[in-house]
Amino acid sequence: MSQAWSKRTEIPDPQVRDVADQFESARKLLHAQSPGSGLLYPLMNAAAVAIELYLKCLSADKTYADAGRGWSIVSATPQHGHGLTTLLGRVEPELREELDRAFQAEFPASGGPSFRDALNRCEGAFQASRYPFEPDSDVSSDVPDLLMRCSHFLQQFIARLQAREKVSC
């Protein structure tokens, strides 16, 4: 059987999104704990992973493996890496613009930073939340709140996003 296409992408990718939603649920559970609970770094980590996976679900490719008898095993191949602004750069330009407009509309009181600017301020939080004891680890005091806002924003944005499929020949 010959296939007329070389690459398929479903935006958002449901498999990657499902895992992102699980990390967002964990983030919400951790965020509900009292401030003195000693869970700041796990909270930051869950938020950073959720953000990363939400961005990846906006650019992951479908992978089809032959399972025999005309069946395929379908999986997702997201972009590699943890750089949030790099992952945002791999999202289609129109969707990046839509993300930015929605983010600025959601948080106008915060001075209207672009979504890219917000992600740039969150860069390194994934590593800092795992290795806060290392000498170069530094997290600004506003980063945990910004991580929470970005994670929640992406979950809501993607939940409202109309799924679409892109096929490349």
pLDDT at 66 (0 to 100)? 63
| pLDDT at res. 1 | 45
pLDDT at 47: 96
Distant-in-sequence contacts of 106-113, Cβ < 8 A, 24+ apart: 106/153, 107/149, 107/153
Both tokens of 88, joined, read 């945002």
Separation of alpha carbons 84 and 146, rounded Å: 13
Distance of alpha carbon 20 from alpha carbon 7, whole angstroms: 23
What does pLDDT average to in each consecutive run of 10 residues of the chain (169 residues)?
60 91 97 90 94 91 67 60 86 93 82 84 82 70 86 96 76
CA angle 119, 123, 126 (to 5 degrees): 115
pLDDT at 135: 72
User: Which residues make beta-bridge pairs with 164?
Assistant: 11
Domains of the chain by start residue, with CATH: 7-161 (1.20.120)
